[in-house]
Amino acid sequence: MSLVQQIDEDVKAAMKAGESDKLSVLRLLKSALKNKQIELGHELEDAEVLTVIQKEIKQRRESSTEFAKAGRAELAAKEQAEAELLTTYLPAQLGDDELASIVDTAIADLDASGIQDIGKVMAQVNAKVQGQAEGARIASLVRSRLTQ
C-alpha cells in the first residue's frame, strides 16, 4: 500500500472514530499532497510524499518553537503533537553511526574536501536516506565532517 493510500485509510478511520484533531492534521496533509501533485503534474510517488511530510513536520516544529517563545504553551503543544502524528508516516530514523557512515561514504565517493562541496554531498546523502533523517541533522553532520 502506498503512503497516499495509507493516509486516505487513516482519514477514514479518524472520521469513524471521531478523532477531530487527527482528522484535521491528516486533511491538511492531504491538501499539501494535492498541491504538490498539481505542481508536479503527476501522481506522487512515495519519495515525493515523504518530502512533503518532512516539510509539514518542519513547519510545525518551527511554529511550535515560535509559539513557545511567545509564551503560548498551548499552541506550542498542539503544533508539537501534530508534528509527532506526522512523524508516524516517516520510515524508521537512522542512528547516528549509520548516518555518519553514509556521510563519510558520500564524502569519499565525491572526493569532497571543503565546505564548497557541501551541496554535492548533501544531494547524495539525501538520495540515499530518503526520509530516514532530517535535513538539518544531515546538514550539521556534513558541515562538521567537511570542516575538520
CATH of domain 96-146: 1.10.10.410
Domain ranges of the chain: 3-87, 96-146
Distance in Å from the first CA to the final CA of the chain: 43
Q: What are 39's three cell numbers?
A: 505542481
Architecture of domain 3-87: Orthogonal Bundle (1.10)
Predicted confidence (pLDDT) per residue in 20-72, tens digit: 999 999 999 999 999 999 999 999 888 889 889 989 999 999 999 999 999 99
Q: What is the mean pLDDT of the chain?
A: 89
